[in-house]
Structure 1
Amino acid sequence: MTKSILHLGLAAALLTSLASPVLAAEPSVLGSEGAWTAFGGTDPKECWAVSPPKSSKNTDAEGNPKEVTRSDIRLYIAYRPGQNGEVSFQGGYPFAPDSTVDVTIGSNSFKLFTEGENAWTGSPDEDAKLISALRAGTDAVFKARSSRGTHTADTFSLSGITAMTNKAKESCK
């Protein structure tokens, strides 16, 4: 199977299962590179780069592997006209109340606040710092805890993130 067919398959899967920042209008695929795909919507105008994790590890409180069922796990960077990017993480389960998601990219670390199944930085300045680290990194690990006490570690490849965040940002000026 060629790389472009794989990207089209990923794009189709993301379009059908996407719990994206926007669902008001049917999004269009802007491009795909590495582990990332860029989408754009027109009503409202918003574009985003998105990736599923390359691996996920689920453990109990003692660190023992645990079988769990999770819905879609995604890392998004959204752009709107006149705004810089906004990072959001969809964990695929309800996060523990008042918990945070710990993000590690190389020697950089960040904390995201949680609500339901989603997490954000909480400020444009933190978004800018996190996006810069993501674009400079190789992998990002998102560690969190579910409302049932499961500990998760989702690793995202950052291959293609720069090209796709550039594409999303340019498309939503």
Structure 2
Amino acid sequence: MMSRLFRAIGTLSASAMIAAAATSAAAQEASNRVAAETDWSVFQETDPVECFGVSAPKSQLNTKDGKPVTVNRGETLLFVFYRPAQGVNGQVTFTGGYPFASGSTVTLEVGGNDFQLFTEGDWAWPATPQDDAKIVAAMKRGAEAVVTGMSGRGTQTKDTFSLLGFTAAVDEASSRCTS
């Protein structure tokens, strides 16, 4: 439980600052973007040192009571972080652009394998670094990742991310920030 809290604090503080910029037009020209690998981009921060691969979904489906609905969501992004000073090496993090239902989990499906992500506010991540490693390995082999969550308002969301360029992006981020 305590490691999850520390992971959340690190994810929330660093990610909150950059999440809004990560897919915006301005971010495409931002000085901290160091590479673009097809559907994934790589960013590097210097203070504190942090590198990450990030992608926006290729498609989104929002449903309520089994019927498609239109909803307002913020940025929806899938990240893999490297933070040498905190010993973070390949932390998977997802932000759905809305507050998740209290106590809910998010399912990340890659190549027929389901992984559970714990939620807090707008963020979701695996329970342990070992789970992160399993997810990253699956994503390197996969073609797409599908993230399904439940909003606090009862809307189910299904976000589909391309994994084209994922391996190159996380390898680049890792090489820039491995502790």
Give the structure-1-normalised TM-score: 0.84
**Corresponding position of 1:13:** 25
Q: Deviations over 1:147-172 (max 9, x none)?
A: 00000000000000000101100111
Residue 15 of structure 1 and its aligned partner are, at CA, apart by 2.8
Letter in 1 for 2:27: L
Give the length in aligned residue pairs.
Answer: 154
Pairing 1:127-142 to 2, within 5 Å after superposition: 127-142=132-147
Given the superposition, is the C-alpha separation of residues 12 and 145 from structure 1 closer, same or farther in structure 2, using an over 3 Å criterion?
closer
Letter in 1 for 2:52: W
Choose from 43, 46, 57 the match for 2:50.
Answer: 46
**Corresponding position of 1:154:** 159
Runs of 4+ in structure 1 over 2 Å off:
10-16
Maintained 8 Å contact 2:81/2:88: no
State the SS of the aligned residue for 1:70.
coil
Maintained 8 Å contact 2:23/2:56: no
Choose from 24, 30, 35 the match for 2:34.
Answer: 30
Give the structure-2-normalised TM-score: 0.82
Structure 1 or 2: larger helix share?
Answer: 2
Choose from 61, 64, 80 the match for 1:77.
Answer: 80
The separation in 1 between residues aligned to 2:170 and 2:41, in whole angstroms, is 9
Maintained 8 Å contact 2:109/2:145: yes
Given the superposition, is the C-alpha separation of residues 85 and 69 from structure 1 closer, same or farther in structure 2, using an over 3 Å criterion?
same
Task: Note the aligned Cα RMSD (angstroms).
Answer: 1.7
State the SS of the aligned residue for 2:175.
helix
* Paired-residue identity, %: 46
Residue 13 of structure 1 and its aligned partner are, at CA, apart by 2.7
Q: Deviations over 1:107-164 (max 9, x none)?
A: 2110000000000002100000001011110001000000000000000000000001
